[in-house]
Structure 1
């Protein structure tokens, strides 16, 4: 199964490079089902893999001037604080046995996977939507938009801390709709935010788990190759056209996780 896992790692990077998000939503399922890593450790590994690959992918956008550093700061600071609090204080509070009814038991690993599946289904809905930008007659003030973006940054940080996903599917709509960021700049800025969030989340909580660096390094290197490929493809392919198809794939994966964890 590891061979399929390494192959899937390429697509994690390609998705991040092509559409600025979505790839991280695949990382935990790949680690759990193809590499056999338990869910809690998979969320930690995911932060490193997504962080490193996003950081590499953001370089090409930085060179082209397609990163809004001020926006990254507004969105990123609340997100980073939320990740630190979640990884170090909230996540350890989740008991090993979350829920039991007769012979049916939800462990911490199953709980995290179900939470992740719910996140995948939410992400798929946002990706399948035909319009990224909503055209409304009432335009909120810039200050209001900035506060909303900072608030969404906090929410992204909590989700990233809990399940190890970068949250690009939430970051990009927030940048486009709330802060009126052009799509290409939103993708580049999203990659910077994801890399900071993920790497800070990883290093702030890495002492709580035993890291197998050889495996983590191999998977990360392959994901980096994928994001380089995705960044090159983004010059020729409109990522928005691929988003719905990728969204349907994520939806199927989310439903599969729920069925597998609850009924098998």
Structure 2
């Protein structure tokens, strides 16, 4: 199985554009590209994507942390739940046939795209929900499961919990959600690494290129209206999911 550095760089640029313009995890580009174009086994593709997520999201989380916009104390139950769920999810993933993982991921991307197109309300304006420490851990375990099984780092779900349950302001919510996503992806990637299911060289090249390209694409993303960003995100996810289901 030979994949050129040029392909990794190109994929890194795509990941950077998705992250910078749409705020999306690189999983939606990395997993389908490695599976469809390069015939990589789904478990390898997901493990590699998670490590790339660690590289890219850690940089963003660090910037928010330096600016005092990460509340680790309030975010701790999310992190605990994500770690528990991701470790269980990794073990489930290795017990499922590769084709099932491939189609599960495609369906996940499709549903995410549909949700993005249908979502109308601003999350920050939703009514707050009161949950205790153990309940927050409980609702984030499924987020960790998704990380381990299909490579979804749970950024959106962490953001929803940070806003509605933890009642953080939007900037601190984004920073805390990104930090939690980093830990969730790290936990999942370590699980895949233990089983030798990560393409380390690919992860580093794609991750570094995505950080550089993401910086410039973020400038474009900041000029887009939220409504247009949401539509582009939804359509992109639906197309990627449909292509993976067909192929």
Q: TM-score band (shorter)?
A: 0.7 to 0.9
Name the CA distance, whole Å, in 2 between partners of 1:67 and 1:230.
24
Larger radius of gyration: 1
Change (3 A) 1:228 1:214: same
- SS for the counterpart of 2:122 is coil
Deviation at 1:56, TM superposition (A): 1.3
CA drift at 1:51? 1.0
Q: Which residue of 1 aligns with 2:115?
A: 126
Instruction: State the Cα distance separating 1:229 from its structure 2 match.
Output: 3.5
- What aligned pairs does 1:169-248 form with structure 2 within 5 A after superposition? 169-209=156-196, 211-229=198-216, 241-248=228-235
Moved more, 66-75 or 193-202: 66-75
Q: Is the 8 A contact 2:16 2:214 kept in 1?
A: yes
- Does the 8 Å CA contact 1:57/1:227 hold for their aligned counterparts? no
TM-score, normalization by structure 2: 0.83
Structure 2 stretches of 5 or more lacking a match? none
What's 1:31 paired with?
A: 34
Q: Which runs of 5+ in 1 are unaligned?
A: 95-107
Question: Do structure 1's residue 152 and structure 2's residue 139 form an aligned pair?
Answer: yes
Whether the aligned pair in 2 keeps the contact of 1:5 and 1:30 (CA below 8 Å) is no
Q: Is residue 2:77 matched to residue 1:74?
A: yes
Residue 151 of structure 1 and its aligned partner are, at CA, apart by: 3.0
Q: 1:84 aligns with which of 73, 77, 87?
A: 87
Distance 1:80 1:16, change over 3 A: farther
Taking structure 1 as the reference length, the TM-score comes to 0.78
Give the drift of 1:45.
Answer: 0.6
Deviations 1:202-244 (A, max 9, x none): 1233131254433332122212223433556666556665132
CA distance, structure 2, for counterparts of residue 228 and residue 91 of structure 1: 33
Q: Is residue 146 of structure 2 the alignment partner of residue 143 of structure 1?
A: no
RMSD over equivalenced CA pairs, Å: 2.8
Distance in 2, matches of 1:236 and 1:61, equals 21
Alpha-carbon offset, residue 154 of structure 1: 0.8
- Number of matched pairs: 243
Are residue 253 (structure 1) and residue 240 (structure 2) matched? yes
Q: 1:93 aligns with which of 92, 95, 103?
A: 95
Rounded Cα–Cα distance in structure 1 between residues aligned with 2:227 and 2:187: 29
Contact 1:82/1:158 (<8 A) preserved: yes
